[in-house]
């Protein structure tokens, strides 16, 4: 492993001559490429940030000095340089390294990061804690340009400017978000990059360092204050930060020298560093969007590794959503779509290309996206906001006050609901049913398969109410697709298979596994039925009542049991005074770690075998209790 074999943290890095750091960076990149090619992961961002992260650990005294990362998908080099290189091959696998930052994984992970725009707030809190205790450590927030579109980032910026605390913000400007950069901030940064600053980066850095050497740090600070109205970073200067940059994020020796100077400055400082996504791996440089969240791939060619299969291609829930939305929008000019910097991930790239004037990318700003959708709906449009389930947690207030309370017909498409796999607990969408079920006047539905997906999207637009549609990541179940989307009866489920001994009440992508569980119970002498409930709200109480009269019920969901679909059924049975035995299967009261979805479903007992095993054991146990009374 060359130089990397002797690196376990900041102290080991400091033993190297700065001239050796580019070679070390190349070793780190090679390890990142190899690990991600095997396990998938966030490749382009991590490659682009490698030189910058290496320089930060070289200059600062981590873990005593805190480096707080935004999002965390740029931090693979950080993991490798802090004693985890020998375990990097396990990244994003069950029991292995997390793909994101975890405080309980390493003392170097100062703050957990899975969502964007949190670093500045967390770093500000750490700086304030340091000021209270009088401790001598430094605090650095490393923020990607995409995270700066989030409201929290700017709330933190104004607070830090007010506190005047010592804090270095490193703006990692890779000139992209997950997709292409959008919004006014993107234009400002682009303007900075087209003023000749990047093209003459070496000269700019030389002049910058010469000012320090000739005038001294305090004089330079005063001089820059006097030039604020003419300085390209004035937006940051006006907020109380001393701005430096842009500087080349891939010239390690100059980065180390620049960081060494700004490290000693007092007050809030922002260093604007320009990097390139995918740096050091040509396929990722050429296709940074494809290699943002990369699947397994061949290192030599950059092509996705595919397993041989003779089965027909099965569409993903996301692709069905995108295609159905385009079909519906062709017939209804009032339908419009909103994404938070993720058109490809949510399937809205199809809508963007078909209806660019009705497509809105608001940046990484989920709260704004929902209230923006409320405004569109209030004036007669039919918006759909497509946002990952785990990111929707940020927008509960907006759904409640700005949409639901005003009875606005906004469609909220929650992609990646349930278990998402290798991204782990920061991305599992297992709380949405519990969060939003409590709100009055909302419709909540979950498709059992890809065919039901298209019908539910049509139903969401047709219901004239706030509608939340939650669906999983990945492929459907290979069911036949109806030729066109149709509106489903609101709040009505359907019995897929009658049962004499018990009935599975299943929701979403647990419906087809419940059918398999019922088949597994047959040889055990248990006749189990299955109902596809379709709607969590309004609940099909008529169907539940009729099935409860026939025998015990088992609810199955890939949501938290606390407050989820099973709880809704239990609440109804209690309110109706029905003395029906009920078993609830779902996500227990614990965060689910990363792993392949099938592995996690098996661990949770909500795969077909687990459902059958739990239902059989419960039925035997309750029968014994009943017979002993």
Q: What is the C-alpha to C-alpha distance for residues 170 and 192, in angstroms, rounded to an integer?
A: 16
Report the distance separating Cα 224 and Cα 559, nearest Å: 53
Phi and psi, residue 535, nearest 5°: -115, 130
* DSSP character at residue 77: H
CB atoms within 10 A of CB 455: 19
Tokens representing 102 are 């975890």
Q: Comparing C-alpha atoms, which of 246, 250, 244, 252 is closest to residue 275?
A: 250
Distance CA 176, CA 174 (A): 5
Q: Residue 306 has which token pair?
A: 């595919």
Q: How far is CA 305 from CA 37, 298, 302, 583, in A?
A: 9, 6, 9, 41
Q: Read off φ and ψ for residue 138, nearest 5 degrees.
A: -100, 155
- Give the Cα separation of 403 and 625 in Å (integer): 48
Residue linked to tokens 């740029």: 74
The residue assigned the tokens 């990149």 is 29
**Rounded alpha-carbon distances, angstroms, from residue 30 to 126, 281, 327, 420, 495:** 33, 9, 44, 27, 53
Find the helix or strand (DSSP H, E) in which 556 lies: strand 553-560
The residues annotated with a catalytic role in the active site are 277, 366, 394
Helix (H, G, I), strand (E, B) or coil at 189: helix
Spatial separation of the C-alpha atoms in residues 93 and 596, rounded to whole Å: 7
Contact 353, 337 (CB under 8 A): no
How far apart CA 560 and CA 567 sit, in angstroms, is 10
Q: Where are the beta strands (DSSP E) in 340-403?
A: 359-361, 382-388
Classified as helix, coil or strand, 317 is: helix
d(CA 372, CA 379): 11
Cβ–Cβ < 8 Å for 217, 261: yes
Half-sphere exposure of 232 (CA within 13 A, CB side): 18
Query: Could you tell me the sign of the dihedral formed by the alpha carbons of 69, 74, 79, 82, in that order?
Result: negative
Answer yes or no: are the C-beta atoms of 446 and 390 closer than 8 Å.
no
CA distance 120 to 168: 10
Residues contacting 218, CB < 8 A, separation 6+: none
Helical axes 252-262 vs 21-39, angle rounded to 10°: 100
């Amino acid at each position: 492993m060359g130089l990397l074999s002797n690196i376990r943290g900041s102290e080991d890095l400091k033993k190297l001559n700065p001239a050796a750091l580019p070679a070390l960076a190349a070793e780190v990149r090679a390890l990142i490429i190899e690990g991600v090619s095997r396990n998938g992961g966030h490749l382009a961002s991590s490659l682009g940030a490698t030189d910058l992260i290496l320089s930060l650990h070289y200059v600062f005294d981590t873990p005593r000095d805190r480096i707080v990362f935004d999002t965390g998908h740029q931090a693979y080099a950080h993991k490798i340089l802090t004693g985890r290189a020998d375990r990097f091959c396990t990244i994003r696998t069950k029991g292995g390294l997390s793909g994101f930052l975890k405080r309980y994984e390493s003392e170097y992970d100062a703050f957990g990061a899975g969502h964007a725009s949190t670093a500045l707030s967390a770093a500000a809190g750490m700086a304030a804690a340091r000021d209270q205790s009088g401790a001598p450590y430094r605090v650095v927030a490393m923020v990607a340009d995409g995270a700066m579109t989030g409201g929290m980032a700017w709330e933190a910026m104004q607070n830090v400017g007010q506190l005047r605390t010592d804090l270095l913000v490193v703006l990692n400007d890779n000139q992209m978000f997950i997709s292409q950069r959008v919004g006014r901030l993107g234009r400002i940064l682009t303007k900075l990059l087209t003023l000749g600053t990047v093209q003459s980066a070496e000269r700019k850095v030389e002049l910058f360092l010469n000012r320090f050497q000739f005038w001294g740090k305090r004089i330079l600070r005063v001089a820059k204050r006097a030039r604020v109205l003419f300085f390209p970073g004035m937006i940051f200067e006006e907020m109380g930060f001393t701005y430096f940059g842009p500087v080349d994020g891939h010239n390690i020796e100059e980065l180390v020298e620049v960081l060494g100077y700004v490290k000693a400055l007092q007050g809030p400082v922002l260093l604007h560093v320009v990097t390139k996504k995918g740096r050091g791996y040509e396929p990722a440089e050429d296709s940074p969007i494809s290699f943002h969240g990369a699947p397994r791939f061949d290192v030599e060619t950059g092509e996705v590794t595919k397993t041989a299969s003779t089965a027909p291609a099965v569409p993903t829930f996301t692709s069905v959503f995108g295609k159905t939305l385009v079909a519906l929008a062709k017939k209804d000019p009032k339908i419009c779509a909103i994404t938070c910097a993720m058109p490809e991930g949510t399937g809205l790239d199809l809508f963007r290309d078909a209806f660019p004037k009705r497509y809105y990318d608001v940046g990484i700003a989920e709260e704004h996206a929902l209230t923006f959708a409320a405004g569109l709906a209030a004036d007669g449009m039919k918006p759909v906001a497509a946002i990952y389930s785990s990111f929707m947690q940020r927008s509960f207030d907006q759904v409640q006050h700005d949409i639901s309370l005003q009875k606005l017909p906004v469609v909220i498409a929650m992609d990646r609901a349930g278990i998402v796999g290798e991204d782990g607990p920061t991305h599992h969408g297992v709380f949405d049913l519990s969060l939003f079920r409590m709100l009055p006047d909302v419709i909540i539905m979950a498709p059992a398969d890809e065919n039901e997906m298209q019908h539910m999207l049509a139903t969401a637009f047709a219901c004239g109410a706030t509608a939340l549609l939650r669906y999983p990541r990945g492929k459907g179940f290979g069911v036949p697709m109806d030729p066109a989307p149709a509106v489903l009866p609101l709040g009505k489920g359907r019995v897929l298979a009658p049962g004499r001994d018990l009935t599975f009440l299943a929701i979403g992508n647990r419906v087809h596994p419940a059918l398999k569980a019922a088949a597994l119970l047959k040889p055990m002498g248990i006749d189990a039925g299955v109902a596809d409930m379709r709607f969590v709200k309004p609940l099909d109480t008529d169907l539940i009542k009729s099935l409860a009269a026939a025998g015990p019920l088992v609810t199955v969901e890939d949501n938290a049991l606390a407050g989820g679909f099973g709880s809704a059924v239990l609440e109804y049975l209690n309110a109706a005074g029905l003395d029906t035995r009920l078993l609830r299967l779902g996500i227990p009261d614990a965060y689910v770690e990363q792993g392949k979805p099938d592995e996690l479903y098996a661990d949770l007992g909500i795969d077909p075998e687990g459902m059958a095993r739990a239902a059989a054991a419960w039925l035997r146990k309750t029968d014994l209790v009943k017979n002993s009374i």
